[in-house]
Structure 1
Amino acid sequence: MKINRKVSKALAAAFLALSAVSIADSSWATPGRTDANGCHTSRTSGYHCHNSGSGSGSSGSGSSSPSGGGSEGVCLTFNDCMSRGETQLKSNPAQALNYFQQALLLKPKDIQAFTRINVVEPYVMAIPGNCPDFKTCMNLGYAGMKQKNYQTALVNFKRALAFNLGNKYAVEAIGNVSRYIQQSRN
């Protein structure tokens, strides 16, 4: 799936804003942790694998595709799913959404996976409902938050983001309400 440059920039801006929002558990992105394939995502070199040197003669310093030798689109561990999702964000948001959904299936109460899903959805699919513009959607979201109706707030913030892809206020609001929802499930 090709996405245009404007959507790609908006998605990058959205995740830059989201990364500014404090999320308590960031262990999946910690250097040194690897998935079942011995691979991980590094802030400097992206997703890559380190071979153990068992018979292949490879030094293990090269990059590997996120598939790690497995089936494309399927991940087996939470960290693998999150890494693959992050890798796909700019080039294929629909595939990134798929990986984040798989991660949430593996850890149903995870705040990061739940938040990523909610931020990516407006880039991939229409958010149903009738909200005439960005400002109205945001105000409806804030009203839902004030009433502690977090599901309504979340839907309206996602609608707002659909009107203005990459808007940092909508992304931050989605991050905040996603955290409230997941914390209430604990």
Structure 2
Amino acid sequence: MLNKFSHTLWLVAMLFVCVTTNCFAQSDFSKFEIKQGKGEFSQAKHFTFLKRAIKSQGEFVIFQQQVYWHTLLPVKSELLVLADGIYRRNDVEQDYQVLTQDKQINQLLAKLLSGQIQNSDWQVTAIEQTSCYLLVPTLVQVAQMFKQVKLCRNGDSQREIVITDQQNNNTHITMTITTKELSQGDMDAVKLTH
């Protein structure tokens, strides 16, 4: 009986701490949003079994939550991250091939890249004295792939995303936005019309 009482007392104390420190407050990610824009990215994949990171760089176009991800180096490839699927085309292929049609994963990646983060998808911890957040997925299927995501903002033009998977491999992405004005060609690039 005493054990149940002490457990209840502990829960009440934690709830009180959360209420007084605003634990349940929604984080404001509006400054991370890229409703439309284009720019350049660099990406480094750090695998636990390799000494050196695998690096790539390229360009991107974002329109709403549709992302065109064009890798230029070391190997050319094109990705479309859409709500209904992730599609890939390499330098020799004309048509996009489906990589995944897992709606939860697709939407989550599109939201991360476009900065349209929803509090309901994550347990959010603000990293003190920085413009960074640590995000732990709340969706079971996503948590099976990602352990956490660190999301940082450096002014209006730069975003950093560090994705840690369940094997402790990290993917570090730096996105530099060069313009928020899109041409018709840019908007066509984020559509599955090719």
Q: Which interval holds the TM-score relative to the shorter structure? A: under 0.3
Normalising by structure 1, we get a TM-score of 0.26
Normalising by structure 2, we get a TM-score of 0.26
**As a proportion of its length, which structure holds more helix?**
1
